[in-house]
Structure 1
Amino acid sequence: MGRYLMTETTPRAPLDQIPGDLVSLGDYARYAPAHMTEAAYQYIVGGGADEISVRRNRDMFDRLMINPRVLVDVTGGSTCTEVLGEHFRHPVMLAPVAFHKLVHPQGEIATAMAASALETPMVVSTLASVELEAIAAQTEAPKWFQLYFQQDRDFTLSLVQRAEAAGYTCLMITVDASLHGIRNRAQRAGFALPPGVDAVNLRQRPPLPSAVLEPSQSIVFQGMMTEAPTWDDIRWLKERTSMPIVLKGILSPADALIAQQMGVSGLVLSNHGGRTLDCVPSGLEVIQSVRQAVGEDMTLLLDGAVERGTDVFKAIALGADAVMVGRAQLYALAVAGAPGVAHMLRILREELEVCMALAGTPRIADIGPEALLSAPRSGFFSA
């Protein structure tokens, strides 16, 4: 890791050329600290509390082995797939990540340009540091909008209506982060948004009503969680938008069934990158049980520690329709701007193609549980 391990006081500018030794997503993670402030890096890389779930996300991928088949004609191979009726060049999406301007002056605009160049769907965060309309104008690839419910439901609906008008085609509602987790790493670093970086799409949000808590009341339950949505809110919003709805942050088959019965179009199996509640499972280790609960027709996406083409392959083999990449897009953006994000996505796509070819699975539809050595066995992840 050498000289790129530690963050410098003054971050380096994005590179004009991508170095020859930058050949993997892990390399972008290695370079990234030198191109960010220390506080920003700790905020991005960190997880909740003891970061057990952060480590578990990666560990679950590493425990799975691929079961390759040889002498298969793969010359007709392709990574193309469909998700919710939209054509994807490859089953990889850019996950909703807040405040891209923390690491690059163009922020989400640069990321959107890269997504368009690599035909990669981008999910734009409510907490983007650029207006959602401006981001939408920069990409011809599929674009989805991620929603954090706000306490004022009229304002929440106005965000959805803005997204519809700007050409977003799917609404992804985050349901596992109604308040910040205990993020000790960011606390120790003294992280705060620097001047010029804010949630621009929330600037017109009505002020929260002032409330005085009784001594017996909790700042969490009776305070911060008053903005938290419930199933009734999902039902309310579903009646007011024509966009398909995907819920992000599902880990329980029981919750997946409720969403399916409500008419939700898809789910993201995710623990929020390990950044909210610590000590919860990864999306990867629950995907088989959720798929069994909801059947084959419901769209299932996965995020959390996707760093290799083999990770994409493993997730699809267990039942995912596509995966999302989170932190890696900020690492690549910090290191080399839009070209860095495009390069990062190309690496991931080419790694997936190599994996599919060598595993004897030329098309996405060919990747099933039999492509993994031990995945079909009950209790594989229990140890």
Structure 2
Amino acid sequence: MTGAEESVTYGQALIGDIDVMLIEFDFRFLGGSVGTATGGRLVHALSTARAHAIPVVSLLATGGSRMQEGMFALLQLQRVARECHLNQESGIPHVTVLRNPTTGGVWASLGASADVILATGGAQVAFGGRRVRSAEDADHPAFTATGQFAAGQVDEVVTPESLPDALSTWLELLTGGAPEPADVPKALGNADLPANGWEAVSRARDPRRPRAAAYLDAYFDTYRLISGDRAGGVDPGVLCGIGWRGGRSIAFAAQAGTATRAAGYRTVSRLITMADRLGIPVLTLIDTPGAANNPTEEAAGLAAAISSVFTAIAATQIPVTTLVIGEGGSGGALAMAGAGRTWITPDAYFSVIAPELAAAILKRDQNEATDLADQLHLRPQDLLNLGIVDGIA
């Protein structure tokens, strides 16, 4: 006996300095399942958060819908999903914590729609619970918190000890936006401009050049990363998250110098869309030789993923500030650029195509790539003179 009246309790609480609507599932009460009364509680909690314009924190531990109540219980998922959608449209942040176990329709309707998803290490996280999976898949690592993190469905795996700090930090970051554009970061590499196009390309490709992680560390007082595209993919070459700088939140999407995968673009799109809803300005750092060019990424929907970033930036109402810090390789780089707010560092370039690829298309010897680099007008000063960038950092 738990002494509780239902599997869910809720109420307003302080986490750090942020007033939130706290929703907690108790797995000891009928497996944390959702029946009609539970659905009513969830709807009331979510709508109250919207009425008071406060974030939602949900602590999940559930087996899903209450089978004793049949379809009446299952229909509660529609009610919960609708409230989550209305909260998103109203700019209400939602952080969920997946505890052991989190399965069934509650994970699909309440948990998976959250802005930031945390999961406790060792937790079972899956749509189908262990007893309804095949024997050979019962204990597959895909159905765990770490498996979901690896697949891009979870942003952080936390311990019980680290959870309070993670929650309070994320709540500050999600509620700390201001309408002013992000400041342009200072250049961390060379201060002098390249003499010719090939020097610009060579400097951008220099492995000793400061990369995205160095810029994020120098720019932010603190920051946290989101992980994955919520569609089964993670691109380690793209760093997305929200940081704290000068007393306010700034979201960021940063390429780390590798060819960007479809999952990376989808994660960027997810980040920008979330930041737009929450009124958080965005900083993008461009550094990629281009979009990943291989059969795996084509099959993963590379063009559609790139399109989603173009669309997210075009549709956003918040300012997007861009700094090209290394290679700016064609459309795979341009997708991340904020129109009318793009700067470049002295050791970077931006081009419609890489010089070597231009030589291949023109059926020229690869030795001619150095001359083509000049003809492409890809140096920072060329781009500034052409009006492509707003300035050189």
Q: What's the TM-score, normalizing by structure 1?
A: 0.27
| Greater RCO (Cα-Cα under 8 Å, separation 6 or more) | 1
Considering fraction of residues, name the structure with more strand.
Answer: 2
The TM-score with structure 2 as length reference comes to 0.26
